[in-house]
Amino acid sequence: MLFQRVRMGVLFSGYVLYSFFEFAKAERIRKTKGKEAWQSYVRPKVQRFCRRSFYWLGMKPEIRHTERLPRTGAYLLIANHQSFFDVNVVLGFLSPKAFLMAKREFQTLPFFGTAVNQVGYFIDRKDPKQAINALRKAIEHLKEGVPFALFPEGTRSTDGEMNPFQKNSLKLAYIAKVPIVPVVIEGTQYVMPKGSFFAVKAQVTVEILEPVHPHDYPDEERLNHWLFTTMQAKKKEMENEKSIH
């Protein structure tokens, strides 16, 4: 266990140092060559890092039903949230071109804040004007045909159980008129639980559920309830499956 943590720390520290140089280069590309060239440069590097963060620990997540992910066009990917590694699951194995949103509090975190600036942006829920601007950016991405990823619980679970979805968290899909792809992640809470800065090896399983279109539901409240109960039931099923094995 100690050796694994030391090894992960050394690898991660080295990669963080390397990434700062890469992100600096990415910023120069954004300013001189535009958004398309910037994203073409940075996306493969982010995907590679997200995958390696699992491989360094001797893990490879089991991803089920990748055929359910739309091959073209925009969609809103939603997932339950247990760990920082959930972001690595999404950008490394599910939707490497997706933009995402993070809480403003994370902006000052070393490396994380810099990394999010390359693949998303921050939202300050205490500042309504800033929050509206962040949501407008998300809608722009979706209308441009770019996927967007969201954790509708709003924060990581402390015990692995799903928290209720935040109100209006699915409104993006209604406004942009895009399908929602629900994803259930099980196991990342053991890799790096909330409050921990150490990562350990654990079994991680990810199941992609059937996409749904928001306009098949009369209002967001009913869609919210259906998605939450469906994802919660699937998570319980995955937990039981793991305990049997």
- The DSSP code sequence of 70-109 is -SSS--EEEE---STHHHHHIIIII-TT-EEEEEGGGGGS
Q: What is the mean predicted confidence (pLDDT) over 118-131? A: 80
Residue 5 pLDDT grade (very low, low, confident, very high; cuts 50, 70, 90) = low
Average pLDDT, the chain: 86
Q: Assess whether pLDDT exceeds 90 at residue 13.
A: no
CA separation, residue 14 to residues 20, 100, 114, 143, 215 (Å): 10, 25, 16, 37, 47
Residues paired with residue 100 on neighbouring β-strands, in sequence order = 120, 149
Q: What is the mean predicted confidence (pLDDT) over 187-211? A: 87
Q: Indicate the range of 106-110, 133-137, 183-187, 203-207 predicted with least confidence.
A: 106-110
Q: Assess whether pLDDT exceeds 90 at residue 21.
A: no
Instruction: Round to whole Å and give the CA distance between 103 and 85.
Output: 16
Phi first, then psi, for residue 103 (nearest 5°) are -65, 145
Rounded to the nearest 10 degrees, the angle between the axes of helix 112-119 and helix 2-33 is: 40
Q: In 3D, which of 37, 59, 101 has the Cα closest to residue 190?
A: 59
pLDDT in tens, 128-173: 787 788 888 888 889 999 999 999 998 888 777 899 998 888 988 9
pLDDT in tens, 43-53: 998 899 889 88
Task: Give the residue, 14 or 142, on which the prediction is more confident.
Answer: 142
Q: What is the mean predicted confidence (pLDDT) over 27-41? A: 89
Q: Assess whether pLDDT exceeds 90 at residue 16.
A: no
Please tell me the pTM assigned to this model. 0.87
Q: Assess whether pLDDT exceeds 80 at residue 105.
A: no
Q: What is the mean predicted confidence (pLDDT) over 208-218? A: 93
Residue 182: what pLDDT?
98
Strand order in the sheet with 62-64: 62-64, 205-208, 180-186, 76-79, 148-150, 99-103, 120-123
Instruction: Round to whole Å and give the CA distance between 220 and 76.
Output: 14
Q: Assess whether pLDDT exceeds 90 at residue 15.
A: no
Q: Assess whether pLDDT exceeds 90 at residue 178.
A: yes
Residue 123 pLDDT grade (very low, low, confident, very high; cuts 50, 70, 90) = confident
pLDDT in tens, 68-104: 999 889 999 999 999 889 999 999 999 999 999 877 7
